[in-house]
Amino acid sequence: MKIKFLPSILLFGALAVAVPLTGGEGTGNPFAQAKFVPDISLILDSSFVIRDLEDPWFSDLFLPGFSHAGPGVRALELDEANVGKGFNLNYAELSLASVVDPYFDLFAVFHLSPEGFEIEEAYFSTRRLPAGLQIKGGKFLSQFGRINGQHSHYWDFGSPPLVQSAFFGGGGLAELGLRLSWVAPLNIFLQFAVEILQGHNEMSFGHQGFDAGGISIATVDGPGLVVATVKSSFDLGNLTVLAGISSASGKSRWPADLENDNGASAFAGTAAVFGADITFKYLFDSIRYLSLQTEVMGRTSRGDRYGLEVVNGWSVCEQRSRQEGFYSQAVARLNKRLRFGARLDLIWKNDLSFAGMTQALPKNLMRYTAMGEWNPTEFSRLRLQYTYDRSRYEESGGIWRQRPVHELTLQVNITIGAHGAHAF
């Protein structure tokens, strides 16, 4: 949902109006509204990237098989941050939050980046429903799995896990819709939730229809995606365990410009993503902890593949895929300022078939990541991250060739304004 600059100008215009109001009280303005200004914060995220591959070559690499169409997904589509060599302004994130009235809270998070303005989240949540129920509505990050619900500045690494970006894209599963959750009245944390979503995720649940040689595939009318999650957590002394299972299933459209993009194919069908996650966090004292986190994800899809080939012309056939992977990470906080972490990413299953014919796709896509952080305060962070990426491939004439990439990223993340509370 990227729009160009007009909305950002409007937004800053609105803030410019709000700010002088805050000076109202001292001058005895009887209409001063300063006390009602919502909690505002601005987070800047920028980086410097060193990589052993020139940008145009890097952006031509594929993650084989991770799309319903074409040979793969171009690396650039998987990455939202730290894309180019040298300096990157990843985003300036503006967030607003406030109690609305006795019945609702409102949250909004806007990503401003050189590419434009993006409403990352804008939703209300209820505050008065009985019996542990809560409804959330608007655009929000789905609570699927462990990572997806977190904003990127809460991540322990500068990049999302490989399974996360392969199945949901760099921006994650952020959708329009409604969420109903229920916390059970138990001594341990047990939460059930269902999300009814529009289904616009470009990696797994697209909605856009397309034309394929006189056949017209209709756009999916929303809502086209259902997410269900169960999460539970308990404490054993200083150890906290959080585990969850999630599923997302819905209609899927992957349009392509078949007439002009040689070799591309389009897809219409259904997809389902399943996830299981577990986190162990052990507190040694108020400052030091060790956290181990693993998330397994799998996706199956089936439907029709539409293609246009030079020799055979238009073709339609059944397409099926089954892909599975996980990430595992360990993060240790040594003192108020230092944190270190390592992560292993692996996609071990990568099956794709057209009309029952298995396609020769690389399996065991791997990536290794290590990071060290220096946090002068809770409001500023410097992160040095090394990535050895063996998941990206070159393709020519149906032959896949791995192109390992070494990458070093220095990332700066700075927050001003309202004090953000840390989720677990």
Instruction: Write the interaction track for other proteins spanning residues 58-97; mark x where CB under 8 A is met and - where it is not.
Output: ----------------------------------------
Tell me: does residue 35 bind other proteins (CB under 8 A). Answer: no
CB of 171 vs other proteins, minimal distance in Å: 22
Tell me: does residue 253 bind other proteins (CB under 8 A). Answer: no
3-state helix, strand, coil in the chain (%, to 5): 10, 55, 35
Tell me how many residues contact other proteins (CB under 8 A): 46
From the list 2-10, 73-81, 278-286, 317-325, the region that binds other proteins by CB under 8 A is 278-286
Nearer to other proteins, 4 or 128 (CB): 128
**Residue 55: in which H helix or E strand, if any?**
helix 55-58
Among 6, 15, 99, 194, binds other proteins (CB under 8 A): 99
From the list 56-64, 282-290, 307-315, 396-404, the region that binds other proteins by CB under 8 A is 282-290
Sort strands 239-254 and 225-236 into parallel, antiparallel or unpaired.
Answer: antiparallel
Terminal CA-to-CA distance of the chain, rounded, Å?
28
Whole-angstrom Cα distance, residue 248 to residue 350? Answer: 19
Sort strands 210-212 and 189-197 into parallel, antiparallel or unpaired.
Answer: unpaired
Nearer to other proteins, 125 or 204 (CB): 125
Among 76, 242, 366, 384, binds other proteins (CB under 8 A): 242
CB of 39 vs other proteins, minimal distance in Å: 9
Tell me: does residue 27 bind other proteins (CB under 8 A). Answer: no
DSSP 285-353: SSS-EEEEEEEEEEEEEEEEEEEEETTTEEEEEEEEEEEEEEEEEEEEE-SSSEEEEEEEEEEEEEEEE
From the list 147, 209, 153, the residue with the least C-alpha distance to 174 is 147
Q: Give the CA radius of gyration of the chain.
A: 23
From the list 18-26, 85-93, 122-130, 343-351, the region that binds other proteins by CB under 8 A is 122-130
Among 27, 286, 312, 396, binds other proteins (CB under 8 A): 286
**Cα–Cα distances in Å, from 228 out to 9, 13, 140, 146, 186?**
37, 39, 15, 13, 20
Tell me: does residue 50 bind other proteins (CB under 8 A). Answer: no
Indicate the SS3 state at residue 270. strand
Indicate the SS3 state at residue 90. strand
- Extract the tokens encoding 288: 């030091």
Among 127, 213, 284, 404, binds other proteins (CB under 8 A): 127
Tell me: does residue 422 bind other proteins (CB under 8 A). Answer: yes
What region, left, alpha or beta, does residue 114 occupy, with left being phi > 0 and alpha being psi -120 to 50 degrees?
alpha
Tell me: does residue 185 bind other proteins (CB under 8 A). Answer: yes
Among 40, 119, 190, 317, binds other proteins (CB under 8 A): 190
Among 41, 48, 84, 105, binds other proteins (CB under 8 A): 105
Name the residues that contact other proteins, by CB under 8 A.
99, 102, 105, 125-130, 132-134, 183-191, 231, 233-235, 240, 242, 281, 283, 285-287, 289, 335-337, 376-379, 416, 419, 421-424
